[in-house]
Structure 1
Amino acid sequence: MTVTEKKETLEIGAFLKSRRAALDPEELGLPPIHNRRRVPGLRREEVAQLAGISVDYYIRIEQGRAQSISAPVLDGLARALRLTDDEHIYLRNLAEPRFADSAQARPVVRPEIQQLLDAMGPYVPASVHGPGIDYLAWNALGARIAFDLEALPPQQRNAPLLVFLHPDSRALHPDWDTVAAETVAALRSECARYPCHPRVKEVLTQLLDSSAEFRALWEDQQVREKFAGRKRIRHPQAGELELTYETFQLAVDPHQTLCTYTVEPGSPSEAALRWLADRTSEESLTH
């Protein structure tokens, strides 16, 4: 077993323990036991019973001693532990990472994708993300909607690093606690999806070394993909913006995702976004 495979099996164990500890046996219809439980949640025997596998096999999975875990077994564990869709995908990626042999270099954004970003118009912020949630490319407004991406060194153009380590992060995000938790949950998915990618490991290591708040959230084992949602940004020039974001995986470039932001028509956020876009256009003409 390679070092990477050993790490992934240990991650599976930690994740399974956290998920069974979060469940209430009575809510699952399990009979009460006479002696008091030493730890909260389900026992290993109960998870194995619900998943339809032997107790010994489940113990081997949780201890990282199972060499190969079949898809039906993973599906059974997901049902037994009441995993969300994102958590189910995460478990599968830990067991069999989809991009374990992916390219090690920083992905290159095709010129056609940059043309698409620029063609979205002056009032639609958009960017392309790569492994580890790096910012790879953006349009003019996408570079200014939050942090000034073009003013940052390339190694700092990363969403999790900016959320936890940039000095202006809390001022920029009025709902910082929510943003931080969602960012950690998304990065955990990235780590399972790209276990061998050096940039993902670099970002995770830097955050674990530099942020106590990140470490605490990382220990919670929460997993959630950030495909769509709402976000508030308190822009230092434009004021508060209420944005809706959507992300799309690029079919031809499977390691890249396109993220776009929109605002409610006629809202104060639309007026603020248009002001920022017009100012961005004016500044670009003077340079």
Structure 2
Amino acid sequence: MREESRIYQVLKYMRDYRLDILGISETRWKDFGEEQIEDHTLLYSGQASKHEHGVGILLSKKASGSLLEWKPVSERIITARFRSRVRNVTIVQCYAPTNAADLDVKERTQGGNVEEEWKAVKDTFLACCGDLLGHRNKDCKDHISADTWDKILYRKTIKDKLNCAKDQSTKETLAYQYFICESDVKRSARRDQRVRAAEIAGRAEHAANTGNTRELYRAGKELCNKPPSHRPIADKSGKLLTTQEDQMRRWHEHFAEVFHTVVDGNDDTETEVEETSTLNISVASK
């Protein structure tokens, strides 16, 4: 596109195909800039001293009105950002070197340390997500015994062999082994479930005998596979309090208001309550 007539040929093809945005390689224009060509706009980026390489983005009048910003990165990369009805869109036009180019040019353009840089970015993201969100516990059930987990892993091994088998007789043999392993896993899981139910029932019986209604309630929830929910309380403005310290402080404020309301008619009693009722709002140690 170094010759002026070439750009008009590109404009003709662009109108014929009804394109609003067209990325161009080998523009061979110096420096970078924005050129108005009839009712179209050309954004280009090239070398400073030679008519070599170069990239550009040709925009129609409609696309020019949606242009937010553009950046000439180098003679081989140019970016442009547009506003759309759904979201903002970024377009990157890149011109990679051919096989005949020098090795240093290829490495500089393609990024010789792309994999290392991407690994560093990926590790940083994973570390930040792990610190903020935590790690998911892959063990679904805590009550499953080690023997049952071994049987589950062995069943997975048989399943992998069955998926990779090609001989029909081998598939039939492995399918029968998988059926046996499946039955063994289910039988072992039911046994672990009965042991768990017996342990929870023992705790519930002990709680009932000692009058511990809280533990009795929790045991009943666990037997129904519905663990008790721990919902945070809110302050006076409606903001949720998620820490134990804030919740204990809110309870202290609540009961202080209740006690003041009860003794509001007797000044002497109110003074005595204020002097003697000192609540401990520290979190109890487990």
What TM bracket, shorter-length normalisation? under 0.3
Give me the TM-score of the superposition, normalised by structure 1.
Answer: 0.20
Look at both structures and tell me which one has the larger radius of gyration over its CA atoms. Answer: 2
